[in-house]
Amino acid sequence: MLNIQLKKGVLELCVLSLLKRNDKYGYELVAEISKNIEISEGTIYPLLRRLKNEGYVETYLEESKEGPPRKYYRLTEKGESTRKVYHKEWVEFIVGVNSIIGGDEYE
Amino acid sequence: MNKNEFLKRLSGNLSRMSGEERDEIMADFAEYFDCAVKEGKDEETVCARLGDPKKIAKEYYSQKMIEEANSKKTFKSMGRAVAASAGLSLSNFIYAVCVVAAGYIVIAALYIAVCSAGLAAFAALIGSAVCFSAYNPLLVLLGIFLSAALLSLCVIGFIGIMKLAALFRRGNMKFLNMTKRVILGGSDNE
């Protein structure tokens, strides 16, 4: 399995990118991520708390049709500019790594 | 493990967070369980997918310590942040302890050296002054001059060490943040 720290860093970019599309509640976010990436789902919540404390996302409560209100996460302007930087860095990183390890095996 | 057991374990391991923070975290996980159960998942599966509540609690705690260290930048909160973030992985732990300990030892050694030199100079200054009446005044004046010079050098050295220590603390914060987010943006926003 890939280094856990590496995954954690990428997870931050994933959360910010998902929130760029539309506001989501916790379960939705986690489900969307774990559909694509193998993770311990519980680790997303500490990450969400940090993103909130750093001002990248903000939260609000919204009524749901079934049951109690849900906590939604929304990307802030600061979050969006950070997402852009991370995205750029990620692409550069991937290109760099691929040119070292070679992509032939999976083509 | 079912929902109640999971929440109980999580809450039990969050004792070092404030009551407000803990309530919020518990509410988040309770909401998660509710959503998952509504989708027809059983609690056991949800628990397995969430992972170890102790590890989740540790994650929250190490994050909190880093935030505190970032805002306060004291030696005490630094140490706690190192310990908390090191708790996440053994290799980080060994590395963090070596780097930080080595830095502290060097700073402590410099500190002791300058302080004792300062004390010695101060004692010599007093000694020279006391001897003033009994011995050759010219030699004693030279003594006073030399020890005063040494004393002022020590004061300058002391200020330098304080600056060095502050620099080292800032460096440590960078290092800690780096281990937290290895590739993405570690140094950008600090």
Domain ranges of chain B: 1-51, 64-186
Please give the pLDDT value at position A59: 96
Of B25, B28, B51, the CB nearest to A40: B51
Q: Which of B85-89, B122-126, B152-156 has the lowest mean pLDDT?
A: B85-89
Residues of chain B that touch chain A, judged by Cβ-Cβ distance less than 8 Å: 25, 27-29, 31-32, 34-36, 38, 49-53, 55-56, 59-60, 63, 67, 89, 179-185, 188-189
- Average pLDDT, stretch B62-91? 74
B81 contacts in chain A (CB < 8 Å):
none
Coil, strand or helix: which one is B183?
coil
What is chain A's pLDDT, residue by residue, as a tens digit (107 residues)? 567 777 888 999 999 999 999 999 999 999 999 999 888 899 999 999 999 999 999 999 998 887 788 999 999 999 999 999 999 999 999 999 999 998 666 55
pLDDT at residue B160 above 50? yes
Going by pLDDT thresholds of 50, 70 and 90, the confidence category of residue B184 is very low
B89 contacts in chain A (CB < 8 Å):
4-5
Coil, strand or helix: which one is B128?
helix
pLDDT at residue B3 above 70? yes
Written in H, E and C, the secondary structure of B69-125 is HHHHCCHHHHHHHHHHHHCCCHHHHHHHHHHHHHHHHHHHHHHHHHHHHHHHHHHHH
Chain A with chain B: Cβ pairs closer than 8 A: 93
- pTM for the model stands at 0.61
Contact between B38 and A67 using a beta-carbon 8 Å cutoff: yes
Summarize pLDDT for B99-144 with one digit per residue, the tens.
778 888 888 888 888 888 888 888 887 777 777 666 777 777 777 7
Going by pLDDT thresholds of 50, 70 and 90, the confidence category of residue B183 is very low
Contact between B183 and A9 using a beta-carbon 8 Å cutoff: yes
Say how far apart CA A2 and CA A58 lie, in whole Å. Answer: 30
pLDDT at residue B58 above 60? yes
Please provide the average confidence, as pLDDT, over all residues in chain B: 80
pLDDT at residue B156 above 90? no
Please give the pLDDT value at position B26: 95
Q: How far is A98 from chain B (nearest CA, A)?
A: 15
Please give the pLDDT value at position B107: 83
Q: How far is B2 from chain A (nearest CA, A)?
A: 15
Report the percentage of chain B scoring pLDDT > 90: 28
Identity (one letter) of the amino acid at A33? I
The secondary structure of residue A99, as a DSSP letter, is H
Coil, strand or helix: which one is A25?
strand
Please give the pLDDT value at position A94: 92
A50 contacts in chain B (CB < 8 Å):
63, 67
Which chain A residue has the Cα nearest residue B35? A27
Reading the block at residue B63, the tokens are 């994050």
Please give the pLDDT value at position B74: 66
Q: Is B115 left (phi over 0), alpha (psi -120 to 50) or beta?
A: alpha
Highest mean pLDDT among A10-14, A36-40, B155-159, B176-180: A10-14
Contact between A40 and B50 using a beta-carbon 8 Å cutoff: yes
Contact between B56 and A9 using a beta-carbon 8 Å cutoff: no
Contact between A45 and B55 using a beta-carbon 8 Å cutoff: no
Contact between A5 and B31 using a beta-carbon 8 Å cutoff: no
pLDDT at residue B152 above 80? yes
Going by pLDDT thresholds of 50, 70 and 90, the confidence category of residue B75 is low
A73 contacts in chain B (CB < 8 Å):
none
Contact between B38 and A66 using a beta-carbon 8 Å cutoff: yes
